[in-house]
Structure 1
Amino acid sequence: MELLLASAVGILTASGIYLILRQRSFPVIIGLSLLSYAVNLFLFATGRLALNQPPILNKYAEAAYTDPLPQALVLTAIVISFGMTAVVVMIALSAYLSARNDRIDMTDETGEDA
């Protein structure tokens, strides 16, 4: 199970970085989303989930319990990444509507670097 989770985090991270390095705005947005999913999986995996165990330490939990902090961090990260994605999509859409192009490059219209 650990190999599957580590592979998923690695593949999501690699795919996200590849898409961020593209020169179009839509793949950059998808790449940021994939990176946020990879970070969420990594944070969730740090909780060392124990099946059928309570999320708090009490007298009925013998030795194992599920740490609730990573779950709270992942929930917060999901909300923040949703808001960030919405803002980035609106910025990319407004840039596309004003320039009629979705390329992300650092050159002006004369071809010189800015």
Structure 2
Amino acid sequence: MEIITSILAGVLFATAIYNLLQKQLIRIIIGTALISHGAHILILTMGRLKAGQPPILREGISNYTDPLPQALILTSIVISFGVTSLLLVLAYRASQENNTDIMEELRGNENE
């Protein structure tokens, strides 16, 4: 199972890098969101997936799921949601002010 999730994380990272290298601002924001989702899956995979095991120790339980990766992912989801919403607001404001969402035109390097 870890192999499949590692491959999925790699595909998410590759798609995110491709989107980060695009010229449109919305694709760059989608790329940052995909990188954060890839990091979530990578952290979950590194914590070793154990289905059906409780996350706490009790009497008679010798095999348990580590709750730390789940707590890290929950914190990371909240932070990435905040960053994505901030980037969306900034992109909307920039496109309204400049009437474009192409990065080359926003920088002032448009080809004439």
Q: How does the TM-score come out when normalised to structure 2?
A: 0.90
Is the alpha carbon distance of 1:85 and 1:107 closer, same or farther for their aligned partners in structure 2, counting shifts above 3 Å? closer
Q: TM-score, normalised by structure 1?
A: 0.88
2:6–2:45 Cα contact (<8 Å) kept: no
Runs of 4 or more above 4 Å deviation: none
1:80 is displaced (CA, Å) by: 0.7
| 8 Å contact kept, 1:53–1:61 | no
- Percent identity between the two aligned chains: 38
Matched residue, 1:84: 83
Shift of 1:58: 2.9
User: What is the rounded CA distance, in whole Å, between the counterparts of 2:90 and 2:64 in structure 1?
Assistant: 43
**Which residue matches 1:65?**
64
Equivalent-residue separation in structure 2 for 1:80 and 1:98 (angstroms): 27
**How many equivalent pairs are there?**
110
TM-aligned CA deviation for residue 47 of structure 1? 1.6
Root-mean-square deviation (Å): 1.7
Q: Distance in 1 between matches of 2:110 and 2:102?
A: 15
For 1:104, give the aligned amino acid. Answer: M
SS of alignment partner, residue 94 of structure 1: helix
Give the Cα separation in 2 of the matches to 1:7 and 1:61.
Answer: 32
SS in structure 2 opposite 1:12?
helix
Secondary structure of the residue aligned to 2:103 is coil
Q: Is the 8 A contact 1:43 1:70 kept in 2?
A: yes
- 1:41 aligns with 41
In structure 1, the gaps of 5 or more residues are none
